[in-house]
């Protein structure tokens, strides 16, 4: 298995998300993929969640 991951709902974020939403034309619920693999976690979140850094250190409930 490459990496464990979880989905983080970031639609309730503040202006940071709103700006990203406008620039990407997102019209539906956006989920940030946070990989638990240390070497890819930051890169994936920065890319997929549009650089909303406050999700960079988020953890998944129920994950080991």
Phi-psi region of 50 (alpha: psi -120 to 50; beta: other; left: phi over 0): left
Model pLDDT, residue 60: 47
CB of 15 within 8 A of CB of 23?
no
What is the distance, to the nearest Å, from the Cα of residue 33 to the centroid of all Cα atoms in its chain?
Answer: 5
- How do the domains of the chain map onto residue ranges? 5-55
Per-residue pLDDT of the chain (64 residues; tens, 9 = 90+): 344 445 555 555 555 555 555 555 554 444 444 444 445 444 444 444 444 434 444 444 444 4
Q: Is residue 20 within 8 Å of residue 47, measured between CB atoms?
A: no
Produce one character per residue of 5-27: b if its CB has 16 or more CB atoms within 10 Å, e if not.
bbebebeebeebbeebbeeeeee
Enter the pTM of the model. Answer: 0.18
């Amino acid at each position: 298995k490459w990496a464990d991951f979880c989905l983080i709902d970031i639609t309730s974020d503040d202006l940071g998300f709103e700006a990203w939403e406008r620039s990407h034309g997102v019209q539906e619920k956006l989920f940030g993929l946070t990989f638990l693999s240390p070497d890819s976690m930051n890169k994936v979140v920065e890319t997929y969640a549009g650089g909303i850094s406050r999700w960079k250190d988020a953890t998944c409930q129920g994950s080991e």
